Structure 1
């Protein structure tokens, strides 16, 4: 086993990639494969149209196919590029060396283990050394030094600093603590399975809320694979001290640690708003279907002590992230549901709750997937569905989302469901540290006392507006086809979430094994490219043979749903009609245009608006529940 492999397996947080003289190639296309890694250059997402400039200028990301983890959630690539970092590096070429590609793979791996804020590595090529730093906002290479020659003194300082660093100095989250060794140093040992590990969260007074890691065979620690992004870790915990028990109780809990964009409304605020508005609308019966949040802490990168702050490489606007920790009630994964009937009960629960959240607070979830549906055993032995993970949700209370409208006569890459002529001429344009108990408003200056009624107080203060990027959000296999077309990230509509609910049922029927309590893979919808997933779904909606390919391995318990006139077939037909109306409408508009037409006319806008209104009317919540044969409200 190599030194790199040993260090990564121990998760000590520092690793090296070394090449001897003449070992490194000079162009990416000359690289030999590194295990399963596939290097695609200096970008975050291959299939999306743009990346932020600051990420391009100081980062190189490898889309390494090394993980067997669950599907990746998409939240990257806003339309407009961001401003450059405050401290600018020389723009890097998109051509990377073999050893750069190798270290990118290791950065991805090390950042995907434990509860980590960043990762550090050494890159040695011939007699030159570069330090490599990666966090959820990007990756930084230092200038190369001649560590065996004129820069030997600097190299000794690097060695000394690395040797003296503790687990937190090497990138472990500063609120996570491990047992100390005989010399007083905190030490993480992988074979200990987090025995003795604790999570300490500030409360605003002299005593932290402390939680024990509670990792067991039935309660595992989950970490999201990859470096850049939210990097979510979900840790099974239980309250350790009196302060934690007073705030969170003594039931089983999880700590959700992630790095969302600072520009987004905080997930804890979303959950507080949802619960408050359901109560105000006398829809308290749906509270049981919304994740129960006990406590939250948000820290800036300065408060986290991120090394990029010392380097003065601070992302601007849309690239800036914060670290947010939520303490939540623990639920069971959808995998454990065990039967078609129990799944259907949970499914209807969360579809209803999703709708009434939208009706009462105008908050749209926007990341419907099997991973975000959980459940617990109710008093009568029936499962109770719970909709979790509101970190990509968006508040639409300021008005309806504008219609999805393609811009005509602009170049675009291939889009699902468009003829070659339409593809050539159409681009899609779809339409400081804070900690607090659940239900308590966030303040940048103080930590507020718990709110007795558990709802967000209305302080009347307006927040300073922040530049808010537009994102393509969702989890590939469950995203609506409108959201998977190439071009500008689309505006996300309520109907798109309804389509995601349909895909949840399709994926479950096609891949879930009730006796084994597990989901199989669905390769057609788990590709690296969102556009390819969109093309597969377009064909699935319009061609029966593609439908049959998707459901061909369905467990026998789901076979009744695959017969004609079942509610799943009727939903498939309805969403197929909506998809058909889109691309036939666009092509009809193209045929009516003359070569001299430029841009879009008022008539085009009006026609697209009518088309979108018709598509929206074709699938509403009422229609969806009518096809399911379920009540809209209970």
Structure 2
């Protein structure tokens, strides 16, 4: 179950986005010269997006729609790494007839089959029996061993998991058993109470379980014998299932939107109970925590809402709920490659897997079928045996002295509603100079939200390694960890190519506007990993990624600027370095956003720096075809062309110029002054909270409306008014003129003369330079005079 945040009265599941009605035509030339459109999105502007379930659910919708379904056998062997000969392995010799196993199954099924559906609270009586069953299947006894790797299923609902702004709460969670044993320690209990920890946070969750009580209908397989699934396939035994294809994909149309489904309700601000903590020195401290009664009330309201859902609506709700838990596991706490979950609806079950490239489900199955039961038992047993790495945590999490996953006392920071869960964590990387270095994270600078995509994490770290000869010991660095497509050129290679070009041609000014990479490490996934096995199985259906660790110099964000003239010079610097990269080096950045425009201070001067080349491409390679299945750009700052699924023209340099305009516009209209937001609703809020279709529709109105839109520029940024209005007019004129043309293979000569690259010079380097080279009537510093005036 999943409640909304307190400030959201009801978080409605969004309808499937519909492309706004427009004149039907093909946009742009009939070629693809860049990354194709994709419905996946992995890096929205986190600090700009309201943390509401209804907003974030939109970002999960696309990922879930593009899921792949495996047979249960394939899921067990590929995802869980279950040996193919598991039936003869001693580790999996759990007899369904053993008393402990038999009693656990009977206890769960007695409740699942004996309690009528549609009675709200009744669903929750399944929680403890299922937790007992799953714990029994770990080792055949249900008893908790003292082993350091022993894992345990526990009841999480009705309390939310901590560590994110949204109060998400799977029904059951999986953690290391030592955490519960430690909770019996009085000192730890006091520690947890001081930190307002009532349960666990996302960084400690190993896997999750979502439970329904709708006769299998919320999974899509009737719990009655011989039922028909929502996919039109008759429910099959394990033997019959083997005749099916090992993978099955479902298009977006498979998930029609519910008429009025909601994820949850919220009772708003409520009275909080006080808990007295006895501290050393005889002083007491009272902290506020929500009472169990309040959580019970919220959970009861959620269950009542689910009673009104149709099976199709319930399946959609359940998938989005599970995806939301995976999103929190992947976006909060320790850095992970993937997350694993289970859905149970009475005697019908399904396993789920989420990584940076794909959402994978097992086929639905019934645990009352004896053959399925044996495989199910082996899979749960295997979950308990998986290492933290195979459960998704990147292998570089350093646990030798700081075992965070088992003992939260190691953490230094306070646990707030949205803690910087990475602060204090320690990671180990082997650098390119051969030294293995240990870094402790001191500050979280940026973390992308989402499941599919690069999932960039940028942190400030301190090197704490004790290896002799380490020149970094005690120094602060910035590290970016991301998961880009393996086919894409590496960021460090592109930046080094640009810096070498500047040095060899004497264009040394460019070095001041490019990031400095200290080191770069690329970690690939071979077939010993779940990602490698999925690639081998799914082939072109699975986008192969790498984990890239980039060590960078520290740069400054735009929010640290104070003088509007400094903002103007930084933006003009970005325009100049962008053009130089395009014309002289042959690199197109393709992802201008507020987070990628930074600055450095040098000799008392400020220089704008174009950062983050993860999505950049060599211009000469773009004609060869797409390099990734992931879109290029950050949604609020993207050109309408790139938001439109019908656009066939690829990514032009003028799309980046449009992004630069949107960055400046949002800064001037959404902030009272640097770092201080305007009051809600903030200008252009739909660009930061909608789907591709929503943002496209809103930006289309912004550019095509009969009357030019009034720009809501804040007084602090009033000196940008001429820039913004002038550039807005140019972009608007370009799009209005382009609406008269369609470039198709059989287009006439008049149409073919339209310049889509710059929208007939309305959005060109020369046009934008002519406006941005002056600020308040005075010239800004021009570093490069060799630019091509034809651009």
TM-score (norm 1): 0.68
Within 1, Cα distance between the matches of 2:518 and 2:612? Answer: 14
Q: 1:306 to 1:530 in 2, by over 3 A?
A: same
Within 2, Cα distance between the matches of 1:571 and 1:97? Answer: 43
1:578 aligns with 2:734: yes
Partner residue, 1:621: 765
Within 1, Cα distance between the matches of 2:326 and 2:256? Answer: 9
Gaps of 5+ in 1: 29-40, 42-52, 67-92, 402-464, 590-598
* Deviation of 1:149 (Å): 6.7
Within 1, Cα distance between the matches of 2:206 and 2:703? Answer: 46
Q: SS in structure 2 opposite 1:276? A: helix
Partner residue, 1:124: 344
* Deviation of 1:538 (Å): 3.4
Partner residue, 1:16: 209
Q: SS in structure 2 opposite 1:578? A: helix
* Deviation of 1:490 (Å): 3.1
1:540 aligns with 2:702: yes
Partner residue, 2:607: 384
Alpha carbons 2:569, 2:781 under 8 Å: kept: no
Q: 1:387 to 1:23 in 2, by over 3 A?
A: same
Partner residue, 2:449: 225
Partner residue, 2:684: 522
Alignment equivalent of 1:170, drawn from 391, 401, 420: 391
* Deviation of 1:54 (Å): 8.1
* Deviation of 1:152 (Å): 5.1
Within 2, Cα distance between the matches of 1:508 and 1:474? Answer: 18
* Deviation of 1:254 (Å): 2.0
Within 1, Cα distance between the matches of 2:725 and 2:469? Answer: 49
Q: SS in structure 2 opposite 1:313? A: helix
Alpha carbons 2:218, 2:345 under 8 Å: kept: no
Within 1, Cα distance between the matches of 2:433 and 2:255? Answer: 41
Q: SS in structure 2 opposite 1:287? A: helix
Q: 1:575 to 1:515 in 2, by over 3 A?
A: closer
1:136 aligns with 2:356: yes
Within 2, Cα distance between the matches of 1:392 and 1:177? Answer: 29
Q: 1:95 to 1:473 in 2, by over 3 A?
A: farther
Gaps of 5+ in 2: 1-155, 162-172, 174-199, 222-230, 232-245, 265-311, 414-420, 775-779, 785-791
Partner residue, 1:596: none
Q: 1:271 to 1:304 in 2, by over 3 A?
A: farther
* Deviation of 1:328 (Å): 1.3
Q: SS in structure 2 opposite 1:212? A: strand
* Deviation of 1:367 (Å): 0.7
Alignment equivalent of 1:104, drawn from 323, 326, 330: 323
Within 2, Cα distance between the matches of 1:543 and 1:530? Answer: 19
- Alignment map for 1:491-570 (pairs within 5 Å): 491-514=650-673, 516-518=675-677, 522-543=684-705, 547-548=709-710, 551-552=711-712, 554-562=713-721, 566-570=722-726
Within 2, Cα distance between the matches of 1:397 and 1:145? Answer: 50
Alpha carbons 2:480, 2:549 under 8 Å: kept: yes
Partner residue, 2:746: 601
* Deviation of 1:394 (Å): 1.2
Q: 1:318 to 1:624 in 2, by over 3 A?
A: farther
Alignment equivalent of 1:208, drawn from 407, 423, 436: 436
1:264 aligns with 2:484: no
Q: Which has the larger radius of gyration?
A: 2
Alpha carbons 1:24, 1:98 under 8 Å: kept: no
Within 1, Cα distance between the matches of 2:755 and 2:433? Answer: 57
Partner residue, 1:449: none
Q: 1:4 to 1:201 in 2, by over 3 A?
A: farther
Alpha carbons 1:267, 1:391 under 8 Å: kept: yes
Alpha carbons 1:278, 1:357 under 8 Å: kept: no
Q: 1:221 to 1:123 in 2, by over 3 A?
A: farther
* Deviation of 1:197 (Å): 2.4
Instruction: Write the deviation string for residues 2-44 of structure 1: whole angstroms up to 9, x where unpaired.
Output: 178444734323111112353744779xxxxxxxxxxxx9xxx
Within 2, Cα distance between the matches of 1:128 and 1:468? Answer: 40
* Deviation of 1:250 (Å): 6.2
Q: 1:196 to 1:601 in 2, by over 3 A?
A: closer
Q: 1:351 to 1:112 in 2, by over 3 A?
A: same
Q: SS in structure 2 opposite 1:577? A: helix
* Deviation of 1:390 (Å): 0.6
Q: 1:542 to 1:156 in 2, by over 3 A?
A: closer
* Deviation of 1:355 (Å): 1.6
Deviates more, 1:496-505 or 1:141-150: 141-150
Q: 1:469 to 1:378 in 2, by over 3 A?
A: closer
Q: 1:190 to 1:541 in 2, by over 3 A?
A: farther
Deviates more, 1:505-514 or 1:473-482: 473-482
Instruction: Report which structure shows greater RCO (CA 8 Å, sep ≥6).
Output: 2
Q: 1:251 to 1:317 in 2, by over 3 A?
A: farther
Alpha carbons 2:429, 2:438 under 8 Å: kept: yes
Within 2, Cα distance between the matches of 1:617 and 1:484? Answer: 22
Within 2, Cα distance between the matches of 1:56 and 1:139? Answer: 10
Deviates more, 1:1-10 or 1:273-282: 1-10
* Deviation of 1:315 (Å): 4.0
* Deviation of 1:384 (Å): 2.6
Partner residue, 2:9: none
Partner residue, 2:644: 485
Within 2, Cα distance between the matches of 1:203 and 1:490? Answer: 40
RMSD: 4.0
Within 2, Cα distance between the matches of 1:539 and 1:507? Answer: 17
Within 2, Cα distance between the matches of 1:65 and 1:279? Answer: 56
Q: SS in structure 1 opposite 2:353? A: strand
The count of aligned residue pairs is 498
Within 2, Cα distance between the matches of 1:506 and 1:183? Answer: 43
Within 2, Cα distance between the matches of 1:199 and 1:542? Answer: 50
* Deviation of 1:270 (Å): 1.1
Alpha carbons 1:262, 1:318 under 8 Å: kept: no
- Alignment map for 1:173-252 (pairs within 5 Å): 173-178=394-399, 180=401, 192=413, 193-194=421-422, 196-203=424-431, 207-215=435-443, 220=444, 222-241=446-465, 251-252=475-476
Within 2, Cα distance between the matches of 1:369 and 1:316? Answer: 30
* Deviation of 1:204 (Å): 6.3
Within 1, Cα distance between the matches of 2:404 and 2:651? Answer: 54
TM-score (norm 2): 0.56
Deviates more, 1:201-210 or 1:113-122: 201-210
Partner residue, 1:79: none
Alpha carbons 2:453, 2:630 under 8 Å: kept: no
Alpha carbons 2:337, 2:394 under 8 Å: kept: yes
Q: SS in structure 2 opposite 1:229? A: coil
- Alignment map for 1:287-436 (pairs within 5 Å): 287-302=511-526, 305-306=529-530, 309=533, 313-316=537-540, 319-380=543-604, 382-397=605-620
Instruction: Write the deviation string for residues 190-240 of structure 1: whole angstroms up to 9, x where unpaired.
Output: 77554652222224687423322123xxxx253211111112222221223
Q: SS in structure 2 opposite 1:359? A: helix
Alpha carbons 2:446, 2:458 under 8 Å: kept: yes
Q: SS in structure 1 opposite 2:753? A: helix
Alignment equivalent of 2:501, drawn from 264, 277, 288: 277
Within 2, Cα distance between the matches of 1:149 and 1:191? Answer: 49
